């Protein structure tokens, strides 16, 4: 299975999933469709877990692990938080849950959870609550890397599970109950998705080589001697982006100049292996659609199920199925650029949706369609500018001096 990847080393369909998640969160925060779209947070958390395990599995050094991620996350988040602080100081109605208090501002900038006077455990910038968990994930992952590089994913998952168990003990401290939220387990589900994806990728790669590329005993020899971990062993680059899959390189090195499965299908030669893969993909499409509909309708909300079951499990299914299906899709350049800028979009949309709700909330749905589209396009345009200035230039400047 050849990964659809860019020359810079990013897995393109991960960027596409990021963009989809960011759009879902924007639609949710605008309340254009009511409470629908919240599951975008689940997708983001699973992408984070997937990327962390993927990018560090074969890396021999943990040098700069935390600094790389702090450089990427902190500057833009601090700027957005301070901007929101001044906005809700002038216009408190822009945020229902957040408050402009200097103590809250300091705690928000330091990723320290708190309960404000309104009774919400929300940072000054509302979407920052997910970054509180993201920072905890980085810390636990960093510790796990130092304990055992070989089993760091399992160790990090055990840390998260232990926190969730301790956080549900009656009478435990607030900080423990906050970080013991079952939402934390969704990062671990992203790591699990990587393991499953990797195994499926390797099996598909070997099947493709065995059945379509090499005749006779040579195919059996390749299948038996294919290197373990042929997919996903390239470490992340300095900017923290996900590296490209090694599937294409593994296939080419294993079979030399023989034609690939894609060459055969292009010439009209579909073998039994390709038919099997087609049926396999049909099942993946069905599972992805069912999972998406489940999340969009928020089925199970009336059953008071834990979040990681009600939204996390279908999000995991959708995420994994989409990863497998998108390997054949060529991603448009604009979608890739927007996918790269999703962290900026994630922060900026909180401002644009707040303004959108001031002017258009309460209007008939039909009259909100055009304003909502314009708001979304404006948010995307701003995120591209923000990405260029802060995530590339400023972060690049900081990496050159701090790493």
Looking at the domain assignment, is residue 3 inside a domain?
no
Instruction: List Cβ<8 Å contacts ≥24 apart for 357-361.
Output: 357/30, 357/31, 358/93, 358/94, 361/31
Q: Provide the pLDDT for residue 78.
A: 97
Tell which residue, 142, 184, 197, has the closest CA to residue 42.
184
Q: Provide the pLDDT for residue 10.
A: 54
Q: Provide the pLDDT for residue 61.
A: 63
Looking at the domain assignment, is residue 67 inside a domain?
yes
Q: Is 71 helix (H, G, I), strand (E, B) or coil?
A: helix
Cα 48 versus chain centre, distance: 5
Q: Provide the pLDDT for residue 206.
A: 52
**How far is Cα 102 from Cα 358, in angstroms, rounded to an integer?**
25
Tell which residue, 239, 113, 214, 205, has the closest CA to residue 167.
113
Looking at the domain assignment, is residue 158 inside a domain?
yes
Looking at the domain assignment, is residue 1 inside a domain?
no
Going from the C-alpha of 171 to that of each of 121, 122, 165, 211, 362, the distances in angstroms are: 18, 21, 13, 60, 41
Looking at the domain assignment, is residue 5 inside a domain?
no
Query: What is the three-state SS of 98-125?
Result: CCCCHHHHHHHHCCCCCCCCCCCCCCCC
The dihedral sign for the CA sequence 150, 48, 324, 344: negative
Contacts of 196 (CB under 8 A, 6+ apart): 320
Q: Contact at 8 Å (CB) between 299 and 311? A: no
**Total number of domains constituting the chain:** 1
Exposure string (b/e) for 58-89, b if CB count within 10 Å is 16 or more?
Answer: ebeeeeebeebbebbbbebbeebbeebbebbe
Domain that holds residue 258: 12-402
**How far is Cα 41 from Cα 146, in angstroms, rounded to an integer?**
29
Q: Contact at 8 Å (CB) between 241 and 10? A: yes
Q: What is the DSSP string of 16-61?
A: HHHHHHHHHHHHHHHTTTTTTTTTHHHHHHHHHHHHHHHHHSS-S-
What is the H or E stretch that residue 345 is in?
Answer: helix 342-360
Looking at the domain assignment, is residue 170 inside a domain?
yes
Looking at the domain assignment, is residue 95 inside a domain?
yes
Looking at the domain assignment, is residue 66 inside a domain?
yes
Count Cα atoms within 13 angstroms, Cβ side, for 204: 24
- Sequential pLDDT tens for the chain (403 residues): 444 555 444 577 899 999 999 999 999 999 888 878 889 999 999 999 999 998 888 765 677 899 999 999 999 999 999 999 999 999 888 888 888 999 999 999 999 999 999 999 999 999 999 999 999 999 999 999 999 988 999 999 999 999 999 999 999 999 999 999 999 999 999 999 999 998 887 776 555 554 444 444 444 443 344 434 333 333 344 334 444 333 334 333 333 333 333 343 333 333 333 434 567 788 888 999 999 999 988 776 777 788 888 899 999 999 999 988 887 778 889 999 999 999 999 999 999 999 999 899 888 889 999 999 999 999 999 999 999 999 999 999 999 999 8
Going from the C-alpha of 102 to that of each of 82, 85, 96, 107, the distances in angstroms are: 10, 9, 18, 9
DSSP 246: S
């Amino acid at each position: 299975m050849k990964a659809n990847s860019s020359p810079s080393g990013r897995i393109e369909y991960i960027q596409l999933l990021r963009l989809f998640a960011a759009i879902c969160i924007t639609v949710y925060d605008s309340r254009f469709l009511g409470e629908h779209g919240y599951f975008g947070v689940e997708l983001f958390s699973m992408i984070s877990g997937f990327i962390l395990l993927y990018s560090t599995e074969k890396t021999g050094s943990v040098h700069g692990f935390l600094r790389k991620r702090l450089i990427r996350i902190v500057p833009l988040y601090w700027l957005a938080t301070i901007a929101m602080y001044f906005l809700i100081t002038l216009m408190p109605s822009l945020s229902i849950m957040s408050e402009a208090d200097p103590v809250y501002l300091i705690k928000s900038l330091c990723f320290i959870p708190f309960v404000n006077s309104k009774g919400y455990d929300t940072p000054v910038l509302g979407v920052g609550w997910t970054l509180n968990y993201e920072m905890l994930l980085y810390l636990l992952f960093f510790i796990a890397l130092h304990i055992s590089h070989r089993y760091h994913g399992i160790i990090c998952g055990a840390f998260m599970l232990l926190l969730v168990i301790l956080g549900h003990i009656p009478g435990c401290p607030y900080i423990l109950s906050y970080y013991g939220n079952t939402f934390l387990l969704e990062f671990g589900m992203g790591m699990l998705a990587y393991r499953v994806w990797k195994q499926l990728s390797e099996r598909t790669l070997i099947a493709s080589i065995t059945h379509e590329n090499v005749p006779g005993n040579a195919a059996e020899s390749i299948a038996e001697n294919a290197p373990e971990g042929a997919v996903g062993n390239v470490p992340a680059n300095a900017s923290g982006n996900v590296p490209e899959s090694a599937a294409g390189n593994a296939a080419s090195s294993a079979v030399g100049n023989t034609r690939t499965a894609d060459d055969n299908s292009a010439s009209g030669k579909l073998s039994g292996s390709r038919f099997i893969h087609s049926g396999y993909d049909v099942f993946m499409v069905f599972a992805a659609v069912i999972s998406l509909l489940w999340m969009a309708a928020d089925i199970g909300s009336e059953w008071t199920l834990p979040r990681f079951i009600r939204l996390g499990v279908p999000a995991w299914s959708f995420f994994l199925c989409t990863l497998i299906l998108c390997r054949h899709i060529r991603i448009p350049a604009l979608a890739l650029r927007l996918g790269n800028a999703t962290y900026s979009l994630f922060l900026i949309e909180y401002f644009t949706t707040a303004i959108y709700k001031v002017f258009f909330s309460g209007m008939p749905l039909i009259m909100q369609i055009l304003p909502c589209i314009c708001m979304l396009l404006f948010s995307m345009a701003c995120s591209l500018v923000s990405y260029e200035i802060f995530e590339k230039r400023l972060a690049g400047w900081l990496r050159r001096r701090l790493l």
